[in-house]
Amino acid sequence: MLRTLNKQPISPELWHHTLDDLARHFPVDAGDDLLDLCCGNGLFAAHFAESCRSVTAVDVSDSLLERLRAMALPNVTVESADIRKLRLAPGRFSRVLVYAGIQYLSEAECVSLMRRMFDWLRPGGILFVGDIPDRELMWTFYDTPERRAAYFENCLAGEDVVGTWYGRDWLEHLALDSGFREADALSQDPKLIYSHFRFDLRCVR
């Protein structure tokens, strides 16, 4: 099972490239307790379970969580929950990952989650928010008159197929205001499948 692009699995090489790129900014070791929010079918959770002490994987979709549950990895806890309402013990984790999930939140919901993620991390812990739709790059996604027309029609209905587009500085300021001592928006490696319209955010508590 691999990430998909246009409903087709990406190549194993591209998946490993994604993991290598992530590892540069989000190093983990055997002492880490990692929280994977919006984990989907658990691709990242299963990967990190090999090197972390524990992984807590959360998603709102029970059907997606089935694959991870079926793997029955001894150091992985699978939790079905909506991250907008999730409450966890402070300081429980040394790493928090939200990959390709933040776009499902409104700006207000993102403010709330950022503050809670800060609380869940221990001092020195790292938050990595991956694959964030970049407000500055939205026209490289809506790149034809037809796509822009569809986008504005959706606007009328208060919808966007991508979800919330974030400004890099907006997220950096939010993270710093939430207490993180470092917050850096990162351009993605051009080899990553959505690098033309997405960016990442790395924060240190």
Ligand X SMILES: C[S@@+](CC[C@H](N)C(=O)[O-])C[C@H]1O[C@@H](n2cnc3c(N)ncnc32)[C@H](O)[C@@H]1O
Count of CB atoms within 10 A of residue 73's CB? 16
Q: Which is nearer to ligand X, 21 or 59 (CB)?
A: 59
Centre a 10 Å sphere on the Cβ of residue 80 and count the other Cβ atoms it contains: 13
**Residues making contact with ligand X (CB under 6 A):** 3, 38-40, 43-44, 59-61, 64, 82-84, 99-101, 104
State the residue number with the nearest CB to ligand X.
40
Q: Kindly tell me which of 153 and 189 has the beta carbon lying closer to ligand X.
A: 189
Closest approach of Cβ 189 to ligand X, in Å?
16
* Least distance from ligand X to the Cβ atom of residue 44, Å: 6
For ligand X, the closer CB: 112 or 148: 112
| Opening angle at CA 154, ends 151 and 144, nearest 5 | 15
Q: How far is the CB of 38 from ligand X (least distance, A)?
A: 3
Q: Compute the Cα dihedral for 38, 160, 150, 132 and give only its sign.
A: negative
In whole angstroms, the minimum distance from the beta carbon of 39 to ligand X comes to 5
Nearer to ligand X, 92 or 148 (CB): 92
Decide if 153 contacts 184 (C-beta within 8 A): no
Q: Helix (H, G, I), strand (E, B), or coil: what is residue 133?
A: strand
Q: How far is the CB of 4 from ligand X (least distance, A)?
A: 9
Residue 184: C-alpha distances to residues 116, 132, 176, 202 (Å): 19, 13, 10, 5
> Is the Cβ of residue 71 or residue 148 nearer to ligand X in the bound state?
71
